[in-house]
Structure 1
Amino acid sequence: MDDDSTARLLATLKTWVESAAPAARLPTTRTLVAEHRVSPVTVQRALRTLVGQGLVETRPGVGTFVREVRTARPIDYGWQTAALGAPNARRLGVPSALRNAGPESIALHSAYPDRELLPERLVRGALARAARGDVALTRAPAAGLPELQAWFAQELRRDCPAGVAPPAASDVVVLPGSQSGLSSVFRALVTTGQPLLMESPTYWGAIFAAQQAGVQVVPVSSGPHGPDPDELDRAFAETGARVFYAQPTYANPTGAQWTPERSAQVLDVVRGHGAFLVEDDWAHDFAITSDPEPLAALDDSGHVIHLRSLTKSTSPALRVAGVVARGPSRERLLADRAAESMYVSGVLQAAALDVVTQPAWRSHLRGLRQQLRARRDLLLGTLAEHAPQVTVEHVPAGGLNLWARLPDGTDPRELARACEAAGLLIAPGDEWFPAEPAAPYVRLNFAAAHTAGFTDGSRILGRELDALGIDALGIDAPGIDALGS
């Protein structure tokens, strides 16, 4: 089983195979053991390697043979072009934020927090307990486990001011992740061909889900404190849209958080047009220097559809989210989910509920707040020192990302390719714009990579910008004294 023995035998067999005729039979295992003074296990390991490399093939009960060279017939899939027609989505394939990173790469592109930021002990214990319970062998209700529905409702109830009726558990539909929820919302409330207003820039997954649903995306420019209410009002009036998708709290990718005044103004516009606001509260658990203030807590008339995920804050394996919707909109969403997936795994629901109701969950969130702040500030500092060409115009008060402005004239995708070749993964910002990008950006996740790579990653980014011949913007990057703002 010695690695050296395996390597020597493998080299010998490769030489033999290269000179042998196609379909020639290799010596038996017994013969190879005797001739090369190795163990049968070593022989089997060498043969498995040759099979994996496509040099030989095994025939059970017969032996191992040199693989015959076969000329593959080109397969023509051209007929599918006419059969499928034009795609609903303008971009196909895996988005940059979901690319797998190699072990040596510095991963600032990811959409998820690093494993060390997750409540691993809570998750493992919760999954073990859920697997032993009745939920492991029974079908969950279509709308979700009642206890989990109640938890989602209670979370919003805590933020409801006096005079606003809090949501009930029956207003909640449990989902297999928030991405699935977005697809359901767009299918159920917008329908094919109808306009959907959407902040720009915004979450690439929402753009993708809308395009796949066949709705017409209408971008509305949004800044560090949210969209301009007058622009939103004009967009509603000009398009006749009845749904607006937004991220009022720690938006992905910008980290923006709406002010209370802006939230009230936007809600007035939505109500005035008899429309819905789909509130994607994806980063509720990732506060740093402020607290989340869901718009859904201000509305009891059914205008706000509130979507909250537990996947990023608990574990990527717990694909569980909840949507709070009141009135007929909730019934349409439930009908869409029933047609799509019938129900969410009871084991996952029970495990997620177990995690977020443990006393240690609140302690974990308090520690997470400090860890995120340290990571955010460290990446800001290393960027200012080693990549002064980029500018973070808004220091986020929560979330996982920095939205970094590149010098004018930069091609974000060309920069991303150059950085990847140098060992740094970043996400080009054009994926977060529903229409043409307003300027060149990249999104940098300060929660995904090990902090030890921040300095080298910033150096690579600055060096590759220099190699592209890009000059600095002339806008001062935030200094360390501004990081806590």
Structure 2
Amino acid sequence: MDHDSSSRIVDSLREWIAAAAPGARLPSTRALAAQHQAGPVTVQKALRVLAAQGLVETRPGAGTFVRAVPTARPADYGWQTAALRAPRSPLRTVSTALRSTPNDVIAFHSGYPDRELLPERLVRSALGRAGRGEAALSRPPVVGLPELQSWFAHELRTVTPAGVTAPTPRDVIVLPGTQSGLSSVFRALAGAGGPVLMESPTYWGAILAAAQAGVRVVPVPSGAHGPDAEELARAFEETGARLLYAQPNYANPTGAQWSAPLGRQVLDVVRAHGAFLVEDDWAHDFGITGTPVPLAAQDDSGHVVHLRSLTKSVSPALRVGAVVARGPARDRILADRAAESMYVSGLLQAAALDVVTQPGWQTHLRRLREQLHARRDLLLTSLREHAPRVHVEHVPRGGLNLWARLPDGTDLHRLVRECEAAGVIIAPGTEWFPAEPTGPFVRLNYAGPRPAAYPDGARILGEVLAHQHG
């Protein structure tokens, strides 16, 4: 009976509250008890229910009042427009490659390998040892842990031909991932407003880093086998550029790998113009049917600035990389890095070094090569069978991606939206062009999760594309 009385009081007071103004005072407990012919305890129980629902509030010594419902006031950040002024260059949104997605979608967009392709056991063990060691509590040198500098230098030294002086550990600067290193290199070697030649298409992060550094990007056409050396020489002459950013091995997004003769030609062009080649060796650990040899191993005159990342191959949680540079260029890059981040976490450096010096690291790389080979071929086969309109001109010998041309007239943004609605996430190729795209392209990652779903993903892509083109 008490419960029924309390419920009736709650319902009655809800109607009263709905008609009352915010802040109105409810009748006293005694008055409500008399009105509803109930005891004070029953009335108090009803008021507690209304308070829990946020309809009333009790103020000790004053009574119970209708609670004012706060109205959301839109935030006004208009003042920042005047404070910030116009950006130096058009703002680029974060790449599709960095999107996090639910587990039930087919993710062809990611820029990182799936977790099952990482050396998880090595990483977990290394982090545990690093946490128990001196690196957990001490500040490392600005240039990086000496042991890690030596490892990066040794890796290049093992492929340096006779007659070429190999880099020393002093030439190595450890980075918190090579993305930040790109910004430092552009600022230090090109300077604000200076021209930087870039292959087109190229890594979206390099385009973003160039914009943040305030340099002027000059696109140089590049195809399935790299840029044309004569076209590159003409670009140097016309622009006066002293910096070329390129990915000679397994370029992102095209998967292109320069031949040995092209590498020598490009080095000759760079040397003839007294310029630098910024060699992004991001996919060093992702060879499939080839083994990459960095151009930095062929240069001892300081023309090649070499970027080497461990983030994708070891773990995205261990953002560790390095830049290898010689002479005054190295000093300028170091000065910029010290101003930017002072030093890289010693804990992460120690863990990364532990992973790559374990005997199991080479075993992992051999297994990774086999896994990438199988995934790449599975995606290629799936596209040929289910999405014949998707044209893959070049089968990469390494890396993580296929670069695919779509039929002329394809509405790329509509395609991306409709694929996502059907459960497939793809990355539009527009993100990889520093200027206007030369056609409708998509980048498809074959190192993502759920490879068993690749045929379904290709089928959906093919169906959406066929529907668009009738």
Shift of 1:56: 8.3
Shift of 1:324: 0.3
- Which amino acid in structure 1 is aligned with residue 184 of structure 2? S
Residue of structure 2 equivalent to 1:243: 243
CA distance in 1, matches of 2:162, 2:23: 82
CA distance in 1, matches of 2:16, 2:426: 47
CA distance in 1, matches of 2:395, 2:249: 14
- Of 354-363 and 78-87, the range deviating more from structure 2: 78-87
Residue of structure 2 equivalent to 1:284: 284
- Please give the secondary structure, in 2, of the residue aligned with 1:468: helix
- Which amino acid in structure 1 is aligned with residue 259 of structure 2? T
Query: Structure 1 residues 67 and 159, CA, compared in 2 at 3 Å: closer, same or farther?
Result: farther
- Which amino acid in structure 2 is aligned with residue 386 of structure 1? H
- Which amino acid in structure 2 is aligned with residue 373 of structure 1? H
Residue of structure 2 equivalent to 1:85: 85
CA distance in 2, matches of 1:125, 1:74: 49
> Which residues in structure 2 correspond to 1:174-323 (within 5 Å)?
174-323=174-323
> Which residues in structure 2 correspond to 1:19-168 (within 5 Å)?
68-168=68-168
Shift of 1:467: 2.2
CA distance in 2, matches of 1:445, 1:324: 28
Q: Do 1:190 and 1:196's aligned partners in 2 also have CA atoms closer than 8 Å?
A: yes
CA distance in 2, matches of 1:68, 1:182: 54
CA distance in 1, matches of 2:246, 2:56: 56
CA distance in 1, matches of 2:95, 2:55: 37
Shift of 1:72: 3.0
- Please give the secondary structure, in 1, of the residue aligned with 2:469: coil
CA distance in 2, matches of 1:143, 1:415: 46
CA distance in 1, matches of 2:246, 2:57: 57
Q: Do 1:17 and 1:66's aligned partners in 2 also have CA atoms closer than 8 Å?
A: no
Residue of structure 2 equivalent to 1:481: none
CA distance in 1, matches of 2:15, 2:458: 47
Could you give the per-residue CA deviations for residues 225-278 of structure 1, whole angstroms, max 9, x where no partner exists?
Answer: 211000000000000000000000000000000000000000000000000000
Query: Structure 1 residues 417 and 164, CA, compared in 2 at 3 Å: closer, same or farther?
Result: same
Q: Does 1:341 align with 2:341?
A: yes
Residue of structure 1 equivalent to 2:368: 368
Query: Structure 1 residues 446 and 17, CA, compared in 2 at 3 Å: closer, same or farther?
Result: farther
Shift of 1:88: 3.4
Residue of structure 2 equivalent to 1:355: 355
Q: Does 1:414 align with 2:420?
A: no
Q: Do 2:245 and 2:279's aligned partners in 1 also have CA atoms closer than 8 Å?
A: yes
- Which amino acid in structure 1 is aligned with residue 119 of structure 2? P
Work out the percentage of aligned pairs sharing the same amino acid.
69
Shift of 1:20: 6.0
Shift of 1:422: 1.1
Q: Do 1:279 and 1:296's aligned partners in 2 also have CA atoms closer than 8 Å?
A: yes
- Please give the secondary structure, in 2, of the residue aligned with 1:465: helix
Cα-Cα RMSD? 2.9
- Of 230-239 and 452-461, the range deviating more from structure 2: 452-461
- Please give the secondary structure, in 1, of the residue aligned with 2:231: helix
Residue of structure 1 equivalent to 2:462: 462
Shift of 1:466: 1.8
Which structure would you say has the larger Rg? 2
Give TM-score scaled by structure 1 length.
0.84
- Which amino acid in structure 2 is aligned with residue 214 of structure 1? G
Could you give the per-residue CA deviations for residues 39-97 of structure 1, whole angstroms, max 9, x where no partner exists?
Answer: xxxx9xxx8xx8xxxx78999x9xxx997433333333233223322223434332111
Residue of structure 2 equivalent to 1:386: 386
Shift of 1:24: 11
Query: Structure 1 residues 18 and 202, CA, compared in 2 at 3 Å: closer, same or farther?
Result: farther
CA distance in 1, matches of 2:24, 2:149: 65
CA distance in 2, matches of 1:24, 1:133: 64
Shift of 1:383: 0.7
CA distance in 2, matches of 1:328, 1:57: 71
Residue of structure 2 equivalent to 1:401: 401
Q: Do 2:403 and 2:442's aligned partners in 1 also have CA atoms closer than 8 Å?
A: yes
Gaps of 5+ in 2: 1-9, 26-40
Query: Structure 1 residues 343 and 67, CA, compared in 2 at 3 Å: closer, same or farther?
Result: farther
CA distance in 2, matches of 1:385, 1:57: 65
Residue of structure 1 equivalent to 2:7: none
CA distance in 2, matches of 1:399, 1:24: 68
Query: Structure 1 residues 341 and 109, CA, compared in 2 at 3 Å: closer, same or farther?
Result: same
Query: Structure 1 residues 19 and 265, CA, compared in 2 at 3 Å: closer, same or farther?
Result: farther
- Which amino acid in structure 2 is aligned with residue 145 of structure 1? L
Residue of structure 2 equivalent to 1:478: none
CA distance in 2, matches of 1:291, 1:57: 72
Query: Structure 1 residues 377 and 83, CA, compared in 2 at 3 Å: closer, same or farther?
Result: same
Shift of 1:460: 1.1
CA distance in 1, matches of 2:151, 2:66: 62
CA distance in 2, matches of 1:191, 1:437: 27
Query: Structure 1 residues 19 and 218, CA, compared in 2 at 3 Å: closer, same or farther?
Result: farther
CA distance in 2, matches of 1:68, 1:289: 69
Could you give the per-residue CA deviations for residues 381-427 of structure 1, whole angstroms, max 9, x where no partner exists?
Answer: 01111111100000000000000111111122221111111111000
- Please give the secondary structure, in 2, of the residue aligned with 1:331: helix
Could you give the per-residue CA deviations for residues 254-312 of structure 1, whole angstroms, max 9, x where no partner exists?
Answer: 00000000000000000000000000000000000011010000000000000000000
Could you give the per-residue CA deviations for residues 326-372 of structure 1, whole angstroms, max 9, x where no partner exists?
Answer: 00001011111100000000000000000000000000000000000
CA distance in 1, matches of 2:226, 2:139: 41
Query: Structure 1 residues 19 and 230, CA, compared in 2 at 3 Å: closer, same or farther?
Result: farther
Query: Structure 1 residues 58 and 403, CA, compared in 2 at 3 Å: closer, same or farther?
Result: farther
Q: Do 1:173 and 1:334's aligned partners in 2 also have CA atoms closer than 8 Å?
A: yes
Q: Do 1:255 and 1:398's aligned partners in 2 also have CA atoms closer than 8 Å?
A: yes
Residue of structure 1 equivalent to 2:325: 325
- Which amino acid in structure 2 is aligned with residue 97 of structure 1? A
Q: Do 2:270 and 2:303's aligned partners in 1 also have CA atoms closer than 8 Å?
A: yes
Q: Do 2:57 and 2:67's aligned partners in 1 also have CA atoms closer than 8 Å?
A: no
CA distance in 1, matches of 2:131, 2:117: 24
- Which amino acid in structure 1 is aligned with residue 135 of structure 2? V
CA distance in 2, matches of 1:147, 1:17: 72
